[in-house]
């Protein structure tokens, strides 16, 4: 697949990106390398290879276990300002 300036401009438009003319050649070269890599991967024989369902090496999921949580006093202990049971934060929205 040939990547040209029109393809880059079209992709930039779809992505709502502005690409300067001075950068067009670099993007064209980079995208051409990516497409060539994918085309090379398509040459691999994957007959009999089962699809990967998870990217985890262990492919085991941990069990959900209920564990203890912080008490109200522990949660507020390091707060710079609090008024139990709330944290006091500076006002950030001005009218």
Q: What is the pLDDT of residues 33-79, one digit of tens each?
A: 999 999 998 899 989 888 877 666 555 677 888 888 999 999 999 89
In a domain, 23, yes or no: yes
In a domain, 86, yes or no: no
Segments forming the whole domain that contains residue 26: 5-41
Q: Is the pTM of this model over 0.75?
A: no
In a domain, 78, yes or no: no
Q: What is the pLDDT of residues 35-46, one digit of tens each?
A: 999 999 889 998
In a domain, 82, yes or no: no
Q: How many domains does the chain have?
A: 1
Q: Extract the tokens encoding 83.
A: 């008024």
In a domain, 74, yes or no: no
In a domain, 92, yes or no: no
Q: Which residues contact 40 (CB under 8 A, 6 or more apart)?
A: none
In a domain, 93, yes or no: no
Cα–Cα dist 87/77, whole Å? 10
pLDDT interval class at 17 (50, 70, 90): very high
């Amino acid at each position: 697949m040939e990547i040209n300036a029109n393809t880059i401009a079209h992709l930039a438009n779809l992505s709502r990106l502005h690409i300067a003319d001075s950068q067009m050649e670099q993007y064209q070269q980079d995208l051409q390398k990516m497409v060539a890599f994918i085309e090379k991967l398509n040459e691999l024989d994957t007959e009999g290879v089962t699809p990967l369902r998870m990217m985890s090496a262990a492919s085991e999921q941990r069990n959900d276990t209920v564990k203890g949580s912080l008490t109200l006093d522990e949660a507020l202990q390091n707060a710079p300002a609090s008024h139990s049971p709330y944290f006091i934060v500076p006002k950030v929205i001005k009218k």
